[in-house]
Amino acid sequence: MGSCCTLIANRLQSAPSIPSLSECSLLLEGTILLDTLNLSTVSNKTTKEDFAAVEWLEQHREKTVTQQSLFDSLCNAKYDESFWSALSTQEILEYDYKACRTNAFKLGWSVALIPLKQVVGAAGFREELDGFAKKMGVDGMIISTVVLGNPPVREIAFFSTNEQKTALFWNGVERFETEMQKRYACEVEEGEGHALKSTDPWSRKGVIPLLSSFF
């Protein structure tokens, strides 16, 4: 599935009675559209189940807004630069965070929707990052970013936060980066150390299994 909300929509279809069905349908459809970039087939996430779910939800909500308008309004809010600029480094790290456990590591992965340079260039970034990593109990941090464009630009950077595992961490990073360059035409981001940049579509969900194989 391209979105967890597709699973919920599927369950709703077999429910005997649904309070506020129209409102629920609008909320679920909006999330599916965001997660799949408006059902884009180039996102490498959208499935036929997502298309079917949106079609069903469209039939069960008020037609106060078109599918395209719904996506555009939510997308503009999600990528609002003024919103992201007002966040502290810790708030950015917390906003969309997931922990990833491998055989040898516990890694933290945060996603931000502003350029990577804007994240790592903030005053006190490294101190904030290390403090966050310590609080979450992770051996390393990954920060990936998505910046809207035609096509969208994706960046990913790595930071070791456990001195005892530093050498092993960077060994895994180098092998992972090599594979990412092969699969997604990534380029090394100049001036950001271990960072990659790509216009090929990839997602955290899709890359985590690959990441786990190198750590």
Q: What is the pLDDT of residues 21-44, one digit of tens each?
A: 999 999 999 999 999 989 988 767
Report the Cα 170 to chain-centroid distance in Å: 23
Q: What pTM was estimated for this model as a whole?
A: 0.83
Q: What is the pLDDT of residues 46-67, one digit of tens each?
A: 999 999 999 999 999 998 999 9
Angular region, 21: left φ>0, alpha ψ -120 to 50, beta rest: alpha
Q: What is the pLDDT of residues 94-152, one digit of tens each?
A: 999 999 998 889 999 999 999 999 999 999 999 999 999 999 999 999 999 998 888 88
Angular region, 42: left φ>0, alpha ψ -120 to 50, beta rest: alpha
What pLDDT sits at residue 192?
54
CA distance 182 to 56: 39
Task: Sketch the domain layout of the chain as residue ranges.
Answer: 4-78, 81-214
Q: Into which CATH architecture does domain 81-214 fall?
A: Roll (3.10)
The pLDDT of residue 155 is above 60: yes
